[in-house]
Amino acid sequence: SSQPGKFSFPIEVEDLLPFDVKGVWESMEECQKLGLTKAIGVSNFSVKKLQNLLSVATIRPVVDQVEMNLAWQQKKLREFCKENGIIVTAFSPLRKGASRGPNEVMENDVLKEIAEAHGKSIAQVSLRWLYEQGVTFVPKSYDKERMNQNLHIFDWALTEQDHHKISQISQSRLISGPTKPQLADLW
């Protein structure tokens, strides 16, 4: 273990404190009841964490914002959230962020092929896939042309064959967990 008060990243497992999900969520619910917020939600909650939260919540989270893109599709989480009326919002929908090495979305040959077949960009294919999954997303761009392209995903659809090809894309998380060793369900 590291010295008290001194942490390095990733954090050693023994340096973690238990998370009081019940106490924190009750405080969030109180904020909503007082009219301080219209809705409450979570970020980076796995299925297991959501199950724990739902076991103590009187107000369900409206949203779970998580890393999601075509190279990290989060199928189990999407299914769980749909069954429980929780909206999923994707961050890093184009697999950028803290990426090192090749971008498994924007440099993917399968997605390039699908994009060319539709006369669209890989970004548009990626955002259209998220839209068709019922996922909201937050693409980040300062480029006006790219922002304009991001809006042009509603007048066409991916085919069943496109969806099959997309489901075969190798899956890996862009941002690894904050602990050493990695705890699969920490977030």
> Does residue 74 surpass a pLDDT of 90?
yes
pLDDT band at 101 (very low <50, low <70, confident <90, very high): low
> Does residue 6 surpass a pLDDT of 90?
no
CATH number of the domain enclosing 60: 3.20.20.100
Please indicate, yes or no, if residue 181 is contained in any of the structural domains: no
Please indicate, yes or no, if residue 28 is contained in any of the structural domains: no
Please indicate, yes or no, if residue 105 is contained in any of the structural domains: yes
What is the reported pLDDT for 95?
81
pLDDT band at 120 (very low <50, low <70, confident <90, very high): very high
What is the reported pLDDT for 98?
53
Please indicate, yes or no, if residue 86 is contained in any of the structural domains: yes
Please indicate, yes or no, if residue 34 is contained in any of the structural domains: no
Containing structural domain, residue 108: 40-174
Residue 136 in tokens: 């909201």
3-7, 80-84, 104-108, 122-126 — which is least confidently predicted? 3-7
The C-alpha angle 98, 102, 107, rounded to 5 degrees, equals 115
Domain count, the chain: 1
Q: 60-98: string of b/e by CB count within 10 Å (b at 16+)? A: ebebbbbbbbbbbbbeebbebbeeeebbbbbbbbbbeee
Q: Residue 153: which of 74, 85, 83, 94 has the closest Cα?
A: 94
pLDDT band at 1 (very low <50, low <70, confident <90, very high): very low
Please indicate, yes or no, if residue 11 is contained in any of the structural domains: no
Please indicate, yes or no, if residue 63 is contained in any of the structural domains: yes
| 39 exposure class (CB count in 10 Å sphere: 0-12, 13-18, 19+) | exposed
What is the reported pLDDT for 182?
56
Average pLDDT, the chain: 87
pLDDT in tens, 141-171: 788 888 888 889 999 999 999 999 999 998 8
